[in-house]
């Protein structure tokens, strides 16, 4: 797709009802013009560390689907290499990879339009990671906030947590990706990828485009934990009540919403700074219903937060039920899931091999004239 078609796609996406809640930054559209010499490719990834929750859905997967349906050239990677930066139980990891694939398909990621693949099936991710690691510095990696956050609670810090952002840069650069939709927490990792592009291109000549981050609206980029609204909703939070998973039953959802931490004010009002707990519930309600937070507060003026939680629970249960049913159906088709992953890996390897051969030649591993 050429640059002007891609820009059209972005505007088209912005018009779609659901994307109205994730306005793309104005500057993004002008950034698209600056990548003229490289064909546009949108790369995204998700770790199979558990079931997709509403934060992953609204902050990432729904936006990927919109870009895909708008005609962008999209790739979606199930980042299993990343997932083992923290210990995973092997059988559970296998199950998570299948479930993640089924959930992405159920959410509308279409393997005919998006290259959907498992990261570890493309060996060039790890190979390029090594080359890029040799062009990174310890000081630069130690500075990244996710490393500091994740390592703060650990006695022994695995090297994987440290190198993770370099692998992420390799994921993106391997496909010469031009755009990467990310949550706010990932923006600094994208900056590392951009810096690596600069270093590599300066040293060896133009090899990679500089990838641009597509960051959604602030609230969507960071849905909060139901148990601690200061933290983001996370797959690997030890307390499953902190998140609503797309596979949760209506009873689970009701229980989690009832237990959601709010504050001592009983009115339903929206202020993410002074009232993060109830505002998080209103944001979820707003994203699922299409109503604005103001409309929701007006409609709920007769309710206290306890009763409002039951209303939100019902809206969530009703909206995610169709996805949940689809996931269960797709999960029963093992052969289909294998075929999707195999065909995705074949397509990904074809692109990856080309980039890797170019990199090998440029750094001096091969003798190609």
- Catalytic machinery residues: 150, 232, 235
Number of residues that bind ligand AQP (CB under 6 A): 20
Residues 181 and 169: their CA atoms lie apart, in Å, by: 14
Angle at 281 between CA 280 and CA 286, to 5 degrees: 95
Tokens coding 38 = 């490289």
Using the Cα atoms of residue 347, residue 97, residue 209 and residue 126 in order, give the sign of their dihedral: negative
Question: According to CB under 6 A, which residues from 184 to 243 bind ligand AQP?
Answer: 185-186, 221-223, 232-236
- Per-residue binding string, ligand AQP, 51-70, x by CB under 6 A, is ----xx--xx----------
According to DSSP, the β-strands at 74-78 and 42-46 are parallel
Tell me the closest approach of the beta carbon of residue 234 to ligand AQP, in angstroms: 3
Please give the Cα distance from 46 to 76 (Å, whole number).
Answer: 8
Interaction between residue 47 and ligand AQP (CB under 6 A): yes
Q: Can you read off the two tokens belonging to residue 39? A: 């064909």
Least Cα distance to 229 among 301, 302, 297, 305 occurs for: 305
Dihedral sign of CA atoms 284, 289, 292, 295 in order: negative
In the complex, what is the shortest distance from the CB of residue 37 to ligand AQP, in angstroms, rounded to a whole number? Answer: 27
- 109 lies in the site for ligand AQP, by CB under 6 A: no
d(CA 104, CA 293) in angstroms, rounded, equals 28
Contacting residue, 51, 67, 182, 337, with ligand AQP by CB under 6 A:
182
Nearer to ligand AQP, 131 or 214 (CB): 214
Stretch that binds ligand AQP, among 23-31, 48-56, 192-200, 266-274 (CB under 6 A): 48-56
Q: Is 324 in the site for ligand AQP (CB under 6 A)?
A: no
Binding residues for ligand AQP, rule: CB under 6 A, are 45-47, 49, 55-56, 59-60, 182-183, 185-186, 221-223, 232-236
């Amino acid at each position: 797709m050429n640059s002007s078609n891609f820009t059209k796609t972005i505007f088209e996406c912005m018009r779609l009802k659901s994307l109205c809640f994730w306005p793309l930054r104005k500057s993004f559209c002008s950034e698209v013009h600056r990548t003229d010499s490289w064909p546009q490719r949108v790369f995204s990834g998700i770790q199979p560390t558990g079931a997709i929750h509403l934060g992953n859905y609204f902050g990432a997967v729904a936006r990927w689907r919109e870009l895909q349906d708008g005609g962008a050239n999209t790739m979606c990677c199930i980042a299993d290499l990343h997932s083992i930066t923290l210990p995973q139980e092997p059988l559970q990891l296998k199950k998570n990879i299948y479930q993640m694939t089924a959930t992405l398909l159920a959410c509308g990621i279409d393997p005919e339009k998006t290259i959907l693949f498992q990261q570890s099936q493309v060996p060039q991710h790890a190979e390029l990671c090594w080359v890029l690691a040799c062009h990174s510095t310890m000081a630069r990696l130690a500075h990244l906030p996710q490393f500091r956050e994740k390592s703060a609670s650990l006695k022994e810090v695995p090297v994987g947590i440290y190198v993770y952002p370099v692998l992420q840069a390799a994921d993106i650069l391997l496909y010469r990706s031009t755009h990467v939709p990310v949550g706010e927490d990932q923006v600094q990792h994208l900056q590392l990828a951009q810096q690596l592009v600069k270093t590599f291109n300066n040293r060896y000549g133009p090899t990679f485009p500089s990838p641009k981050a597509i960051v959604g609206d602030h609230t969507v980029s960071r849905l909060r934990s139901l148990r601690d609204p200061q933290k983001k909703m996370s797959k690997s939070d030890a307390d499953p009540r902190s998140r609503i998973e797309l596979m949760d039953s209506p009873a689970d959802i009701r229980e989690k919403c009832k237990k959601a931490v709010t504050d001592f004010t009983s009115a339903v009002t929206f202020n993410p700074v002074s009232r993060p707990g109830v505002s998080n519930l209103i944001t979820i309600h707003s994203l699922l219903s299409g109503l604005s937070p103001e409309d929701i507060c007006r409609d709920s003026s007769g309710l206290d937060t306890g009763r409002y939680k039951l209303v939100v629970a019902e809206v969530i249960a009703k909206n995610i039920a169709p996805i949940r049913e689809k996931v269960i159906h797709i999960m029963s088709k093992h052969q289909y899931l294998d075929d999707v992953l195999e065909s995705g890996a074949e397509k990904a390897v074809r692109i990856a091999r080309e980039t890797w051969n170019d990199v090998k030649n440029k750094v001096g591993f091969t003798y190609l004239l």
